[in-house]
């Protein structure tokens, strides 16, 4: 297998499951561990992914995860949140899915449901493109700097026409005052529209997002309906949800 073919296969695996270990990639691609590690190092330098202990994730900008986060723990947390998120969706709902690894995992848990999903995530498209039960609407726009995302004026105009029952939103982090923040201006504009387009807004944020990085405010914890997080999130910050009668659900990730 040629280098560019391995890189494509590695990215496909990361988009599918959010992260992968060196051992998993070695078995998948039938090459040595040293070859995989060289591939990951080269791909990290080009900004395609982020290496962590024992493997790799999508680039840090995809989810804002701390560089020291353990691969297996972070993957388990996102999977646990995604499973709980899917349980909040009722049959017949119109669902808005933001970009990000967690929302892609939510899409996988919603397969086979009689619902409508609207998204600007090409990763969600890949997860659902062959599902005959889900009605899938892809927002238009320009391919953004993050992998498999659509952004820009066309995306924003399309969102202004949307009314959804529930929206699942990701961010780079939550500041101690309850502000939900991101880093990219075009992304911030789209996420603010996601807030306005749905009757219920669910923020998905592992405990590593408390606090998180980002200078652009897209909303506040008092504005959301549900916060899905994992053990360890700052209690004082979580309390801001109560100001807007929001609900906090702390999800326990599966053990090894």
CA distances from 90 to 122, 172, 207 (A): 23, 27, 26
64 falls within a domain: no
For residue 137, what are the β-bridge partners? 118
CA distances from 118 to 52, 88, 173 (A): 32, 16, 23
Residues 33 and 160 in one domain: no
67 falls within a domain: no
Res 69: pLDDT: 44
Backbone angles phi, psi at 125, to 5 degrees: -55, -45
Residues 160 and 51 in one domain: no
Residues 17 and 91 in one domain: no
d(CA 233, CA 144): 30
For the chain, strand residue ranges (E) read 19-21, 49-52, 55-58, 94-97, 116-119, 135-138, 142-143, 150-151, 164-169, 173-174, 179-182, 198-204, 216-220, 226-229, 247-250
Nearest to 10 by CA among 32, 34, 33, 43: 43
Q: What CATH number corresponds to the domain at position 213? A: 3.40.50.10470
Residues 27 and 129 in one domain: no
66 falls within a domain: no
d(CA 234, CA 214): 17
Residues 44 and 81 in one domain: no
Q: pTM for the whole thing? A: 0.74
Q: How many domains does one find in the chain? A: 2
Q: What CATH number corresponds to the domain at position 41? A: 1.10.10.10
Res 72: pLDDT: 58
d(CA 234, CA 237): 5
Q: Taking the C-alpha atoms of 155, 156, 158 and 164 in order, what is their torsion angle to the nearest 10 degrees?
A: 110
63 falls within a domain: no
Which residue positions in the chain have pLDDT lower than 70? 16, 46, 59-72, 147, 255-256
192 falls within a domain: yes
CA distances from 42 to 62, 103, 231, 236 (A): 18, 27, 34, 41
Residues 101 and 155 in one domain: yes
- Boundaries of domain holding 45: 3-58
Parallel, antiparallel or unpaired: strands 19-21 and 55-58: antiparallel
Res 220: pLDDT: 96
CB 146 within 8 A of CB 99: yes
d(CA 121, CA 192): 16
167 falls within a domain: yes
Residues 76 and 120 in one domain: yes
Question: Is the bond preceding 211 in cis, omega lying within 30 degrees of 0?
Answer: yes
For residue 224, what are the β-bridge partners? none
223 falls within a domain: yes
97 falls within a domain: yes
Residues 50 and 91 in one domain: no
Residues 81 and 180 in one domain: yes
Residues 87 and 157 in one domain: yes
d(CA 18, CA 71): 9
Residues 212 and 85 in one domain: yes
Residues 77 and 199 in one domain: yes
């Amino acid at each position: 297998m040629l280098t560019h073919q391995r890189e494509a296969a590695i990215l496909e695996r990361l988009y599918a499951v959010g992260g992968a270990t060196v051992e998993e990639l070695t078995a998948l691609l039938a090459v040595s561990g040293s070859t995989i590690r060289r591939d990951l190092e080269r791909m990290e330098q080009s900004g395609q992914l982020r290496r962590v202990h024992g493997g790799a994730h999508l680039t840090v900008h995809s989810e804002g995860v701390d560089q020291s986060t353990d691969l297996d723990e972070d993957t388990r947390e996102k999977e646990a949140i995604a499973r709980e998120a899917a349980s909040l969706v009722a049959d017949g709902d119109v669902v808005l899915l933001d970009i990000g690894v967690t929302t892609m995992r939510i899409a996988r848990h919603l397969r086979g449901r009689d619902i409508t999903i609207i998204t600007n995530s090409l990763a969600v498209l890949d997860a659902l493109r062959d599902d005959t039960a889900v009605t899938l609407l892809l927002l238009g726009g320009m391919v953004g700097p993050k992998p498999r995302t659509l952004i820009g004026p066309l995306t924003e105009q399309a969102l202004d026409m949307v009314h959804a029952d529930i929206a699942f939103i990701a961010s780079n982090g939550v500041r101690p005052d309850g502000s939900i923040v991101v880093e990219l201006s075009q992304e911030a504009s789209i996420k603010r529209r996601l807030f306005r387009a749905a009757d219920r807004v669910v923020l998905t944020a592992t405990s590593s997002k408390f606090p998180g990085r980002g200078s652009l405010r897209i909303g506040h914890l008092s504005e959301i309906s549900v916060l899905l997080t994992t053990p360890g999130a700052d209690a004082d910050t979580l309390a801001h949800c109560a100001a807007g009668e929001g609900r906090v659900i702390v999800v326990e990730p599966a053990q090894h």
